[in-house]
Amino acid sequence: MKKINEAVEVLKRGGLAVYPTETTYGIGADVTNQKAINKLNKYKQRPFGKPYSVAVANQKMAEEYVELNDTAKRIYKQFLPGPVTVISKGKHKVAKGVESENGSLGIRIPDYPLVIEIIKKLEKPITATSANASYQKRPYKISDILESISDKQKKLIDLIIDVGELPHNEPSTVIDTTMDDPAILRQGEIKFKSENEVLSRGEDETQNLGKELFQKYEKYLGKRPIVFALEGEMGSGKTQFTKGLARAMGVKEEIVSPTYNLVNHYSQIADHQSLDHIDAWRMTDPKELKALELETFVKSKHVVVIEWAEKVADIIKKYRDQAVVVWVRITYGKVANERLISWGNL
């Protein structure tokens, strides 16, 4: 009870509060308070323009801030409260920077009573963004957050509700209901399609997906080699995907196309991790992949990304037992910047 009142006071004043959910720790700010949102921007150090999803107490509250169409209503009925973020047309009742550039807003109703109570008492929605800084690892415990932010960032947090280590659940599934065909923007525990498929609307989002996929398989890091086999047409975004993946791994160097070198190695990463970025475009024979010391990378439990993997599929398949092999397919979408990214374990 005391924690709830404390949190409400902090949020009322425009402060930032770290709170637990059924997915990861989130960081909340009053979405109608511009000062609070500005403070949150400073904390997250995100690229300008990336919107925040918000957490509400119930559907009634949601409808004060977004217009729910039939698709959205059906999803609310079936999945909320729960790990699904539903994007709908916003009513512009929130501070600047919360809704997306085209005016849409993502709503969550976390399946976590403590949070619902806080929101009810505050009588305002709070931001539902994860508590880590951009591209840092998923925060399942408070130390995950604190050890990867600066002192400046630490000072911006006004309250931490620490309930210990959260179960390692996937972040919420994000579904955009504003279009004719609802699109999945992030794949969480809840699946709306029989396969994993996500829509990316630009290079940033493709990079972000690289990060997300890496984080899904992060538990194998150092224990088994992880091979991401990327299949996609010219210009579909394989290298963009790899940029996000590498950044999530902690690689500081710019990831450039390995087409000419055939392999680029990155080993200045924490915990003796290594990333090998291979490009098979110039290979005329799948055996060339073997000659590139792929065997060594696998034995040393590296993370290996192979672009144009379809050219060397036969060789990659041979590593199915030794390594975790994730096959990622990137295809062009309906409009210019869109890509459809699907993946599965080989």
Question: Where along the sequence are the contacts to other proteins (CB under 8 A)?
Answer: 203, 233-237, 239-240, 253-254, 256-257, 259-266, 282-285, 287-288, 291-293, 332, 336
Looking at the chain, which runs of residues are DSSP E strands? 17-19, 26-28, 54-55, 66-67, 84-90, 104-108, 126-127, 129-130, 159-160, 173-176, 183-186, 196-200, 226-232, 263-266, 275-279, 303-307, 324-332, 339-345
Residue 264 Cβ vs other proteins, minimum distance, rounded to whole Å = 8
Q: Name 106's Cβ contacts closer than 8 Å, sequence gap at least 6.
A: 51, 52, 53, 54, 85, 86, 87, 128, 174
Burial (CB count <10 Å: 0-12, 13-18, 19+), residue 204: middle
Residue 196 Cβ vs other proteins, minimum distance, rounded to whole Å = 23
Residue 265 Cβ vs other proteins, minimum distance, rounded to whole Å = 6
Residue 242 Cβ vs other proteins, minimum distance, rounded to whole Å = 10
Rounded CA-CA distance 102/83 in Å is 24
Q: Which is nearer to other proteins, 120 or 265 (CB)?
A: 265
Residue 268 Cβ vs other proteins, minimum distance, rounded to whole Å = 9
Residue 330 Cβ vs other proteins, minimum distance, rounded to whole Å = 11
Cα-based angle 303, 306, 307 (whole degrees, multiple of 5): 145
Rounded CA-CA distance 125/28 in Å is 9
Residue 34 Cβ vs other proteins, minimum distance, rounded to whole Å = 29
CA neighbor of 329 nearest in space, from 308, 315, 311, 314: 308
Rounded CA-CA distance 217/225 in Å is 10
Q: Which is nearer to other proteins, 163 or 291 (CB)?
A: 291
Residue 277 Cβ vs other proteins, minimum distance, rounded to whole Å = 11
Could you tell me the end-to-end alpha-carbon distance of the chain, in angstroms, rounded to an integer?
A: 48
Q: Which is nearer to other proteins, 193 or 299 (CB)?
A: 299
Q: Which is nearer to other proteins, 235 or 344 (CB)?
A: 235
Q: Which is nearer to other proteins, 193 or 287 (CB)?
A: 287
Q: Which is nearer to other proteins, 71 or 239 (CB)?
A: 239
CA neighbor of 123 nearest in space, from 190, 186, 184, 57: 57
Matching residue, tokens 């408070």:
142
Q: Which is nearer to other proteins, 261 or 345 (CB)?
A: 261
Q: Which is nearer to other proteins, 50 or 265 (CB)?
A: 265
Residue 338 Cβ vs other proteins, minimum distance, rounded to whole Å = 11
3-state class (DSSP) for residue 283: coil
Q: Which is nearer to other proteins, 21 or 274 (CB)?
A: 274
Taking each helix axis from N to C end, the angle separating 203-217 and 238-249, rounded to the nearest 10 degrees, works out to 50
Rounded CA-CA distance 28/130 in Å is 9
